[in-house]
Amino acid sequence: MFYREAGQFKTTYQSDQAIFPIAQDRWFVFAVVAVAYLVVPFVANEYWLQAILIPFLVFAMAAIGLNLLLGYAGQLSLGTGAFMSVGAYATYKLTTAFPDMNIIVAFLLSGLITAGVGILFGIPSLRIKGLYLAVATLAAQFFLNWLFNKVSWFYTHNPSGTITAPPRTTLGVMVSGPEATAEARYMVCLILVTVFAVLAKNLVRGRVGRSWMAIRDMDIAAEIIGFKPLHTKLLAFAISSFYCGLAGAMSLYLWLGSAETEAYNILVSFQVLFMVILGGLGSMLGSFLGAAFVTVLPVFLTNAPQLVGVTMATDLQKHLEVMIFGGLIIYFLIVEPHGLARLWQIAKEKLRRWPFPY
């Protein structure tokens, strides 16, 4: 009885095209966003911010990127980790070479650089499809990992091979480096994610999004209608890589502080892939839900035994965690292959009818 759309008539196409056409949805999202901006920074403790919220935001950005490429444009990429590394290393080189550059500008530029790399590795998609394309993107993953490891220019010949985010301020607040507070870093992440999520949503509900979905669903018919496969696919790779690069830059500067190539290896690519699939392909909400699930679950599993009062050898615990993670993935895929976003939709349907069963 609370969640009814009856009576909410749209009188213009404009209102029909809105991101949240149902009023209750709008209120809910505004509430969540308000809490995120106004409440969380004051209430959350360091651990929550550093271990859960900030990585959630970083991975949400990466998940949006991969979702655009895989969920909307139908191109399977296993190189997400490598693209994140491009963003991280690019920002590192930019900020060390131009100490006066504003950090946000550095982020955006490195996103553009990653987009360029993405286009390069996306070129095979014009000839290769499906699983074969996935393996081609693995070439990107392994090659870039190797490149950043071997060519010492990338980490300015630092003998340990790690890159460290130098301290930077924005609007007078220290946002990266050892003195930046978790709250400050969280806010920057939050702002970046909200802005770019809205941009992505706009893209996805317009011509670009339709062109991607057309190529995804039936690329031959899409071409017959007049979509140019070259432009569509490369644009998808470019924009998706931009988001992943941005996420990589965020991960280095706003979350980890320092990293080496291992932090962006194939396991990261799989992590983001899980987020997108578990969350729901082709759904912006899904990217967020998936990122939340995959970021929170390991933390939960690590802490769960203590909560229940059981102590376990760390080795054993780690193995069990891996097993449970894999088991949950299989379970979710069986129960709802369209992901958490679909479960959410089903919940909304039920809510619409509540308290009636049908």
Partner 1 sequence: MDILTAIFVTPFSEIVAGPVFFLEVVVSGLLTGIMYSLVALGFVLIFKASGIFNFAQGVLVLFAALTLVGLMERGVPVIAAIPLTMIVMIVLAMLVEKLMLRPLVNQDPLILFMATIGLSFVLEGLGETLWGSNVKRLDIGIPEDVWQVDVGDKYMLLNSFDVYAAVTGAILVVGLAVFFHKTPIGRALRAVADDHQAAMSVGIPLRTIWVIVWSVSGMVALVAGIMWGGKSGVQFSLSLIALKALPVLILGGLTSVPGAIIGGLIIGVGEKVAEVYWGPAIGGAIENWFAYALALVFLLFRPQGLFGERIIERV
Partner 2 sequence: MAKERTNGEVLLDVDNISLSFGGVQAIQDVSFDVLRGEVRAIIGPNGAGKSSMLNCINGFYHPQKGTITYKGVKRSQMRTHEAAAQGIARTFQNIALFKGMSTLDNIMTGRNLKMKVNFLLQALYLGPARREELEHREFVEKIIDFLEIQAIRKTPVGRLPYGLQKRVELGRALAAEPELLLLDEPMAGMNTEEKEDMSRFILDVSDEFGTTIVLIEHDMGVVMDLSDRVVVLDYGKKIADGTPDEVRTNPDVIDAYLGVAHD
DSSP summary character for residue 356? S
Find the binding residues for partner 1 in span 70-109 (CB under 8 A): 76
Locate tokens 């490149």: which residue? Answer: 147
Choosing among partner 1, partner 2, none, which partner's interface includes residue 199 (Cβ < 5 to 8 Å by kind)? Answer: partner 2
Of the candidates 118, 245, 282, 290, which one interacts with partner 2 according to CB under 8 A? 282
Question: Could you tell me if 80 and 269 are in contact, meaning their C-beta atoms sit under 8 angstroms apart?
Answer: yes
- Binds partner 1 by CB under 8 A, chosen from 6, 43, 171, 224: 224
* Residues in region 192-231 near partner 2 by CB under 8 A: 199-200, 202-203, 206-208, 210-211, 213-214, 216-218, 220-228
- Bond from prior residue into 355 cis (ω within 30 degrees of 0): yes
In angstroms, rounded to a whole number, what is the distance separating the alpha carbons of residues 305 and 258? 30
Amino acid in the structure at residue 254: L
Interface region with partner 1, contact rule CB under 8 A, candidates 181-189, 290-298, 327-335, 350-358: 327-335
Least gap, CB of 212 to partner 1 (angstroms): 16
Instruction: Please pick, from the candidates 273, 289, 292, 294, the single residue that binds partner 1 as defined by CB under 8 A.
Output: 273
316 Cβ neighbours under 8 A, 6+ residues apart: none
Which residue among 69, 73, 136, 215 contacts partner 1 (CB under 8 A)? 136
Helices (H), ranges, 226-339 = 229-250, 266-279, 284-308, 314-335
Answer with the entry of partner 2, partner 1, none that 191 interacts with (C-beta below 5 to 8 A by kind).
Answer: none
In this chain, which stretch among 187-195, 202-210, 250-258, 265-273 interacts with partner 1, using CB under 8 A?
265-273
Its sign, for the CA torsion 244, 246, 247, 249, is positive
**How do 163-164 and 168-170 pair as beta strands?**
unpaired
Choice between 203 and 285, CB closer to partner 2: 203
- Does the protein bind partner 1 through residue 323 (CB under 8 A)? yes
When asked if residue 179 is in the footprint of partner 2 (CB under 8 A), the reply is no
Instruction: Verify binding: residue 337, partner 1, rule CB under 8 A.
Output: yes
Footprint (CB under 8 A) of partner 2, residues 29-88:
none
Chain-centre distance of CA 197, in angstroms? 10
If the CB atoms of residues 127 and 157 are measured against partner 1, the closer one turns out to be 127
Distance CA 45, CA 208 (A): 41
- Specify the DSSP element, H or E, that contains 175: strand 173-176
Sign of CA dihedral 125, 127, 131, 135: negative
**Cβ distance to partner 1 smaller for residue 148 or 186:** 148
274 makes contact with partner 1 (CB under 8 A): yes
Pick one of partner 1, partner 2, none as the site partner of residue 270 (Cβ within 5 to 8 A by kind). partner 1
Query: Does 158 sit near partner 2 (CB under 8 A)?
Result: no
What is the C-alpha separation between 165 and 180, in angstroms, rounded? 11
Estimate the share of the chain in helix, then strand, then coil, as percent rounded to the nearest 5. 75, 5, 20
Rg (CA), the chain: 21
Query: Is residue 141 within 8 Å of 269, Cβ to Cβ?
Result: yes
Integer Cα distance of 39 and 203 in angstroms: 30
- Tell whether residue 106 is a contact of partner 2 (CB under 8 A): no
Report the interface residues with partner 2, using CB under 8 A: 13-14, 17, 199-200, 202-203, 206-208, 210-211, 213-214, 216-218, 220-228, 235, 239, 282
Report the interface residues with partner 1, using CB under 8 A: 76, 124, 127-132, 135-136, 138-139, 142-143, 145-146, 150-151, 220-221, 224, 266, 270, 273-274, 277, 315-316, 319-330, 333-334, 337
